[in-house]
Each structure stands twice: as C-alpha cells, then as structure tokens.
Amino acid sequence: MPGELKTELKSKSRAEGKLVVLKLGGSVVTRKEKRMTPNLEAIKMLAQEVAQADVEYLIIVHGGGSFGHPLAEQYRIKEGFKERSQIEGFSKTHQAMLELNKLVVDALIQHNIAAFSVIPSSCIVTKAGRIESLDNCQIDMLLNMGLVPVLFGDAVLDEDQGFAILSGDQLVAVLARSFKASRIILGVDVDGLYTADPKAHSIAQPITHITLADLKSRISAIEQTRVTDVTGGMLGKILELMPAIGAGIPTMIVNAGKRGNLYKALKEQEVPGTLITKE
Amino acid sequence: MPGELKTELKSKSRAEGKLVVLKLGGSVVTRKEKRMTPNLEAIKMLAQEVAQADVEYLIIVHGGGSFGHPLAEQYRIKEGFKERSQIEGFSKTHQAMLELNKLVVDALIQHNIAAFSVIPSSCIVTKAGRIESLDNCQIDMLLNMGLVPVLFGDAVLDEDQGFAILSGDQLVAVLARSFKASRIILGVDVDGLYTADPKAHSIAQPITHITLADLKSRISAIEQTRVTDVTGGMLGKILELMPAIGAGIPTMIVNAGKRGNLYKALKEQEVPGTLITKE
C-alpha cells in the first residue's frame, strides 16, 4: 500500500488533458470600489456552480480586487524593494490576499469541494516578476489526491528585485501549460471581448470566438475596453494568457458575476462570452 | 543596485548566531477547551511583548490548539491517507490553521512587526511525517529583508503516506538548526518543567536549569506532567527539540500566558521557567 500510494501520488500524468484552470477575477470576488470588501454573495454563488459542475481535475486561481490591489499600489510592491518603508506593505499585501483566499476556500469547502489553499509566496520565487518554476507547490500531488488547489495573485519574493506582484493571470497561464490543462476559464465582470469598448461605443459587438492571430491584430482595440489595474486590465490578462493559448489551450472568457455562466462554461455548455483558440 | 540587492538577499549568513526561534504554543494562542476559539487577549499581549523586545532576527512558529488539533484528530490526519473521507479533513485542518495564523500575523502587524506568513504545506513535503528540507520556504530571504517569518503546525503533503501532521515543535527544531539560531524560546501555558507533575504532587519542584544528559535521565518523570495532544504533550515537545539542544542551541521554556514572561525571555532577562542547555 505505501509503495502504491507513493506511485499514485507522484504520478505526473493523472490530470493531463482533463484539467480545467479557472480564474475568478478580483472584480468578481470582491467589490472593487470599496477597500477590503469581499463580494460574499458572488463567492457563494461561484462555489455553488463549481460544486454543481463537478469537474474531475480543477485548479482555481483568484485575483486580488479590493484586497490586494490598493495595498500593492500604495506601497509600490510591483516595482520591487527600493526602501524599507515598503516592507510593511509587502507583508500587508500578502496578509490581505490570505484573508480573501480564506473566504474563497471556506465557501468552496462549505459546498463540499476539497479545496486546498496553496500560497504562492510560500512556494514561488519570481525572477524580475516572472515565475521560474511551480515545482515546489506540489500541485500534482494535490490533484492526484482529488483536491482542488486554490491559488491567488500574491506579493512574492523576487530573486532580482526583492519582491514583486505575481498576478493571478500569470499563474493561470503557467499552471495551464505546466499541467497540460484542457481548458482555461476566465471568470470576469464583463461579457467577454468586444469589437470596441461597449461602454463608450454603441456599435461595439461582442466577439464570441476569436483565434490567436485575429486577436493579435485586434489587440489595440481591446486595449481601451477596461480601466487598468496593477496587474493590467483586460489587455494585461490577454497578454499573459497568450502563451497558454498558443500552446493549444482554449480559453473561455465569461461574465462569472451572472448566475449560471460559470456552471455552463465549466460544463462546456453554450454561454455568452469569448472563446479564444490557437487556430 | 539590483546586483547588490541580490547578493544581500541571497546571503545565507546574515541571521546566523543572532536568530531567535520562538514557539507560541497552541495552548497559549487558543482556548484549548473550546473548538476554533482563539485567545485574542493572549495573542495581543504576545504581539506587544514581541514588539517591545525588538529582536533583530526572529522566526515565530505557533501551534494549533483548538484550531488544528480537534480536526486533525477527528479525521486521523497524522496516520496518513487511508480513505477518501479523510481528504475533507485534510483540507479543513489546513484551513483552520490558516485562520489562526491570520489572527496571529494580524496582531503582529498591528504592533508594527513586519510579520510574513510562511505556509508549511505550501513549501514542505514531509517523508513519513518528518521534514526533509526547508529550502523552498525562502526563510533566508525573508530574514535578510528584515521580515519576521511566521509558520505554524500544519497538515502537509507526505511523500510516503499522502499527508501528515507537521508539528510546530518539529518545525522549531529544524528551523533553529538550519538557520543556526542562537536561542529557542518555547512559550507554553505552564511554568516550565518540574521534578514531578505539579498538579498531582505537592512536592513537585520547578527545574530552572537542566542539561540534556540530566533531562534524558529524567524523561520518564516528565512523561506524566501534561495531557497528551496529537503532536505529543510536553514530552513530545522535548523529544522534538532535543536535536536542536544537542546541536548547542539553548532552549528556554516559559509560561507565555503570564504577562511579561515572553518579553523577559526574548531580552534574556531572568524569568521563571526552565533553561535546557547541551552541557
């Protein structure tokens, strides 16, 4: 039994091709306009939908929203360690993210999902803000045990600049590629990509499907669809996800704030949003 | 500057010989008799005393008390992965510990200590319940940046048995040896070691100083001083700490529940308790 268990847990291939990497945007799980305020109704609804969809292998990554971003910005964590006064902010940003993560994981556990918090800053050191390896996070072992790893955008140590902000989007792309995910679902607070900013232009049309090549040529149009945040707005998200999409992992952007959308996306049912594929 | 910073952060020796490893027992930071109940007054008092003592290099490890232990016991996490029903408990035990850790770190931050949560299960995989390496936890980098890493007894993945309980005491001993600590302070809810169980025998005398050799010969007497918990009672603690004491790191056991004791111990002032030294 111990030998068998060991092989089983250390096996690298179990989730390959069956794994869904789900991002829950900070704008969905928090109230972005109010500092350190979770959107508890949304968190509960999303936990319900994840439970109902019952995906075999799932990794969840959530954003920072009004928890991580204001502190990260205030202390300029993204720029790296420049002066001692930032140390306090590095510690506070991490702590705020742990608080939000707790709320998300608690809700998942309440819906009988074997969610397990994996803390980025405890297993990842970036180099100039980029992930070099996920090996220490033991994601494989957790997936093989039937657990749902839950990570988040975090303030992390950085080899070159002392510390950095590791965005949830970068995590999603690297996780999806490293563990050969079948799909990425990006749950945001808009209905996907548009041909123009729908808030500014009434002629803006939703994009239901786009290839990577098309997307690249349209990218300047997307640039203006959302207000930027410290991890980049929608353009930042797309740029981070491109290597994963380029590796052949289809990415669905849905408005996870609207009831039922996340469930449908997880079940591969038709749902309003934008599907981005390699070809 | 980046080159310099890199050398500075990666330097292994900065805290060597100046580091204090402080354990805050679960019986001090929680109310052991009531499930999932923190002792917020004690946590606040301890944070105050840590702030006042202003130790140059400090690592804090706290226990589980009424947060981690009842769940770990209920789901028999210590025994390893035997059946699927334990998975839920593995996840809940970890989550409970994250909750307690948040309270401890929040209190430290409120007292202007640059505390930084380091989550054992995100950077340590044990082998049959024993730590094999702390390298992935980046303790050195945190200490060199002037941060106070805060760890805790946790439910962790285990190479041989799927999962295990990593006790705070094991962490303390391994941390102290790995980072060449100058001292260990063990904050518990009793006044140190006695010649017999003080609750059962009125002739019991407090032991103010004991050598490792003496301690070993007395160990059978200590065995009965406290009720056992899942990580072992006082005997378990002592056995875990022996390799560190044997490596020449003096260990002071104090009643951290009594105001002023922890401050005095951190400042190396006289304080009731038991000092254990190698010789």
Task: Write the DSSP assignment of A90-109 as a string of letters.
Answer: HHHHHHHHHHHHHHHHHHHH
Q: Is the pLDDT of residue B224 over 90?
A: no
CA atoms within a 13 Å half-sphere pointing along the CA-CB vector of B80: 16
Say if the Cβ atoms of B116 and A10 lie within 8 Å. no
* Residue A133, C-beta contacts closer than 8 angstroms, at least 6 positions apart: A124
Q: Provide the residue type at A257 as one letter.
A: G
Checking phi first, is residue A268 left (phi over 0); if not, alpha (psi -120 to 50) or beta? left
Mapping DSSP to helix (H, G, I), strand (E, B) and coil, where does residue B273 land?
Answer: coil
Q: pLDDT tens for residues A74-84?
A: 999 999 999 99
Supply the ipTM of this predicted assembly: 0.92
Band of pLDDT at residue A231, cut at 50, 70 and 90: very low
Q: Mean pLDDT throughout A149-156?
A: 98
CA distances from B202 to A191, A275, B198, B199, B227 (A): 74, 76, 6, 7, 18
| Domains, chain A, with CATH or none | 6-277 (3.40.1160.10)
Instruction: Specify the DSSP element, H or E, that contains A211.
Output: strand A209-211
More confidently predicted of A234 and B207:
B207
Of B84, B102, B161, the CB nearest to A99: B102
CB A98 within 8 A of CB A131: no
In this prediction, residue B188 carries a pLDDT of 95
The CA distance from B115 to B151, in Å, is 10
Q: pLDDT tens for residues A87-134?
A: 999 999 999 999 999 999 999 999 999 999 999 999 999 999 999 999
Q: What percent of chain A clears pLDDT 90, i.e. is strictly above it?
A: 77
Say if the Cβ atoms of A119 and B116 lie within 8 Å. no
Q: Is the pLDDT of residue B201 over 80?
A: no
Tokens of B72: 């770990």
Q: Is the pLDDT of residue A65 over 70?
A: yes
Q: Provide the residue type at A41 as one letter.
A: E
Q: Which residue has the tokens 């991890």?
A: A231
Q: Provide the residue type at A252 as one letter.
A: M
Say if the Cβ atoms of A2 and B161 lie within 8 Å. yes
Which residue of B lies nearest to A127 if distances are taken between CA atoms? B6
Q: pLDDT tens for residues A10-49?
A: 666 678 889 999 999 999 999 989 999 999 999 999 999 9
The CA distance from A51 to B4, in Å, is 49
Band of pLDDT at residue A219, cut at 50, 70 and 90: confident
User: Cα-Cα-Cα-Cα dihedral of A139, B172, A98, A132, to 10°?
Assistant: -40
Angle between helix A40-53 and A85-110 (nearest 10): 50
* Residue A18, C-beta contacts closer than 8 angstroms, at least 6 positions apart: A56, A57, A182
Band of pLDDT at residue B204, cut at 50, 70 and 90: confident
Q: How far does A275 lie from chain B, in Å, by closest CA?
A: 33
Instruction: Specify the DSSP element, H or E, that contains B253.
Output: strand B251-255
CA distances from A260 to A255, B96, B167 (A): 10, 30, 42
The CA distance from B92 to B97, in Å, is 9
Mapping DSSP to helix (H, G, I), strand (E, B) and coil, where does residue A99 land?
Answer: helix
The CA distance from B184 to A121, in Å, is 26
* Residue A228, C-beta contacts closer than 8 angstroms, at least 6 positions apart: A235, A236
Of B6, B117, B123, the CB nearest to A94: B117
Least confident of A193-197, A235-239, B272-276: A193-197
Q: Provide the residue type at A32 as one letter.
A: K
| Degrees, nearest 5: CA angle B43-B163-B243 | 65
Bridge-based pairing of strands B19-24 and B57-62 is: parallel
Say if the Cβ atoms of A114 and B91 lie within 8 Å. yes
Chain B residues within 8 A of A92 when measuring between CB atoms: 109
Q: Locate all alpha helices (DSSP H) within chain B, ordered by sequence.
A: 2-10, 26-29, 40-53, 65-74, 85-110, 120-123, 139-144, 168-178, 212-222, 234-246, 261-266
φ and ψ at A45, to 5 degrees? Answer: -60, -45
Say if the Cβ atoms of B102 and A102 lie within 8 Å. yes
Other C-beta atoms lying within 10 Å of the C-beta of residue B4: 8
Q: Which residue has the tokens 């998300």?
A: A104
Question: Measured in whole angstroms, how far is the alpha carbon of residue A279 from the centre of its chain?
Answer: 23
Based on its alpha-carbon atoms, the radius of gyration of chain A, rounded to whole angstroms, reads 18
Count of CB contacts below 8 A, A vs B? Answer: 128
Instruction: Specify the DSSP element, H or E, that contains B250.
Output: none
The CA distance from A161 to A250, in Å, is 33
Cα–Cα nearest to B119, from A42, A132, A136: A136
The CA distance from B216 to B238, in Å, is 10
Other C-beta atoms lying within 10 Å of the C-beta of residue B199: 11
Q: How far does A156 lie from chain B, in Å, by closest CA?
A: 10
Say if the Cβ atoms of B162 and A10 lie within 8 Å. no
More confidently predicted of B90 and B195:
B90
Q: How far does A97 lie from chain B, in Å, by closest CA?
A: 11
* Residue B213, C-beta contacts closer than 8 angstroms, at least 6 positions apart: B279
In this prediction, residue B12 carries a pLDDT of 62
- Exposed/middle/buried for A269, CB within 10 Å: 0-12, 13-18, 19+? exposed
In this prediction, residue B148 carries a pLDDT of 98
Question: Measured in whole angstroms, how far is the alpha carbon of residue B3 from the centre of its chain?
Answer: 35
Band of pLDDT at residue B13, cut at 50, 70 and 90: low
Say if the Cβ atoms of B141 and A122 lie within 8 Å. no
Band of pLDDT at residue A7, cut at 50, 70 and 90: low
